[in-house]
Amino acid sequence: MSKQTEDLLVRTLNDVSSLFGKERYKKALEKLDKAEKLAEKTKRTDILCRVLLQKGAIMTAMGKPDEGQDLYDKALDIFRTSDLNEPESSVLKSTLSNTFSELARHFKMTDNLENAEKCYMNEIKVYEILLEKDPEYEDSNQEIARIFKAIGDLYEYFRPEEMDPETERQYYEKILDIREKAFELLPDSETYIYGLAHALGNLVDYYIIRQDYESAIQLQERVVEVMEELIDLLANWKDLKAKSNTYDKLGSLYAEIGQEELAQEQYSKALEYYEMIFDDELWPLSVKAMLASELMERGKTLLLSKKYESAKESMDMALDFLEGVDKEELEDSTKGSMDLTYVFLGEGDEEESEDSGYLSELAGIFREYAKTLSDLNRNEDAEEFTAKSEKILGKLAEEGD
């Protein structure tokens, strides 16, 4: 092909893209007819395929989906009959895949979910054909998973503003089905693990809102299984924290149906991932201090829910870590608030606080923690926290006189 002819084709296709965006379909088709003849004459099958896909998209946009799919299929057949060993085949694959992606993005920006999804599903066919021609082609599953992710993202982008319960359930199940397909292709990929976990989590929350805890538990158990696919040796602390959260949530769901023993097992499992972080020298003190503070708050929440054993586990783990850290180093590395942590370490200034609501809550936490310690025969520690509680209550009483 001469340089002049190639430049003409490039200009024509650019013009078509502009006309397509402006919905000037008749003029775009006229230019594509000329480009198709020129591509056939110069035997540029890659350009011919691009022309056919753009024609198909225009027919689809004009409300003629069957004619549009026929044109898509015609381009796919050209690829199907190509010789995989020829460089031309690789160019065809890239042209088809990139053009379908480009057209999908166009339909997304014009708020057409159905046509955008159709383009992505046709892009999947490109890699399915490639697998038929070469089952050993390693990148096919990766590319198909990528496209399924794009379809899932598409549905989340087009999330309806208002949905009745049944429509909402179907919407979340649709996304879950798509995320599941991507995960099945690449179950070791962090991207698809988190994508599936998030999709499952949406349905878990859907059932929690409706107090259908049995259904929520079944799905949350699946979340736990999926998150376990993350490889511990390669996981960063955020991955480990995310794993911990899945067990905490499962524990809270078991508690909702009165399965306290199972709930406590999940709460204990959640702590194992905090321990992994505390024991790993890779993570900085600032991160560990932040997580220790979270554990104290977690313990507080469990105490107020009267889950004393689980509260003790959480607080003891935080205290064990913090008591082994140089206090000046801890203060230097921590920028956020750790009031509750420092109080439990005996470093706080709760007596100086003027917030009576905070003090009253703190006194209640100390009292409940003292009960827990007493039940565990840690009487000396129990007396310490009882004394703290009584001191605060005494201060509040004085202020009330």
Whether the CB-CB separation of 315 and 296 falls below 8 Å is answered with yes
Q: How confident is the model at residue 318 (pLDDT cuts 50, 70, 90)?
A: confident
Mean pLDDT, rounded, for 313-329: 83
Whole-angstrom distance, CA of residue 298 vs CA of residue 315: 8
**pLDDT for res 379:** 79
Rounded Cα gap, residues 249 and 201, in angstroms: 10
In the chain, what percentage of residues exceed pLDDT 70? 88
pLDDT score for 307: 86
Per the CB < 8 A criterion, the answer to whether 160 and 119 are in contact is no
The per-residue pLDDT for range 251-280, each reduced to its tens digit, is 999 999 999 999 999 999 999 999 999 998
Candidate from 203-207, 284-288, 349-353 with smallest mean pLDDT: 349-353
Compute the mean pLDDT over every residue in the chain, rounded to the nearest whole number: 86
Per-residue CA distances from 167 to 161, 172, 219 (Å): 11, 9, 19
Query: pLDDT tens digit string along 94-126?
Result: 999 999 999 999 999 999 999 999 999 999 999
137 confidence band (pLDDT: 50, 70, 90): confident
pLDDT at 393: 81
Dihedrals phi, psi of 336, to nearest 5 degrees? -85, 180
Q: Nearest CA to 371 among 319, 308, 313? A: 308
pLDDT for the residue numbered 195:
96
CA quadruple 13, 15, 17, 19: dihedral sign: negative
**Position with higher pLDDT, 59 vs 328:** 59
Q: What pLDDT, on the 0 to 100 scale, is given for residue 345?
A: 46
336 pLDDT above the threshold of 60: no
The per-residue b/e assignment along 51-80, b for 16 or more CB within 10 angstroms, e otherwise, is bbbbbbbbbbbeeeeeebbebbeebbebbb
| Number of other CB atoms surrounding residue 48 within 10 Å | 22
d(CA 296, CA 315): 5
As a whole number, mean pLDDT of residues 311-318 equals: 88
Out of 102-116, 191-205, 232-246, 341-355, least confident range: 341-355
Beta strands in 184-323 (DSSP E): none
Ramachandran region of residue 191, left (φ > 0), alpha (ψ -120 to 50) or beta?
alpha
Alpha-carbon dihedral angle through residues 301, 306, 308, 312, given to the nearest 10 degrees: 10
- Extract long-range pairs of 97-101: CB within 8 Å, 24+ residues apart: 97/123, 97/126, 97/127, 97/143, 99/49, 99/50, 99/53, 99/54, 100/53, 100/126, 101/150
* Per-residue pLDDT at 380: 81
Segment 156-190, tens digit of pLDDT? 999 998 999 999 999 999 999 999 999 999 998 98
Q: Which amino acid is at 113?
A: L
Domains in the chain (CATH in brackets) are 1-131 (1.25.40.10)
CA geometry: angle 144, 138, 47, nearest 5 deg: 65
Answer yes or no: are the C-beta atoms of 351 and 395 closer than 8 Å.
yes
Q: In the prediction, which pLDDT does 333 show?
A: 60
Most confident of 84-88, 233-237, 397-401: 84-88
Q: Which of 94-98, 266-270, 356-360, 381-385 has the lowest mean pLDDT?
A: 356-360
pLDDT bracket for residue 59 (50, 70, 90): very high
* Poorest-pLDDT segment among 45-59, 288-302, 372-386: 372-386
Structure tokens at 15: 């013009």
pLDDT band at 355 (very low <50, low <70, confident <90, very high): low
Identify the CA nearest to 254 among candidates 269, 274, 236, 239. 269
Contacts of 221 (CB under 8 A, 6+ apart): 250
Q: Tokens standing for 185?
A: 């292709």
What are 203-239's pLDDT values in tens digits?
Answer: 999 999 999 999 999 999 999 999 988 765 456 888 8
Lowest mean pLDDT among 53-62, 116-125, 201-210, 370-379: 370-379
Number of helices (H), then strands (E), in the chain: 18, 0
How many other C-beta atoms lie within 10 A of the C-beta of residue 297? 15
> Residue 275 and residue 310: Cα distance in Å, rounded?
15
| CA–CA distance, 222 with 217 (Å, rounded to integer) | 9
Predicted pLDDT of residue 332 = 65
* Model confidence band, residue 337 (pLDDT cutoffs 50, 70, 90): very low
Distance of alpha carbon 272 from its chain centroid, rounded? 22
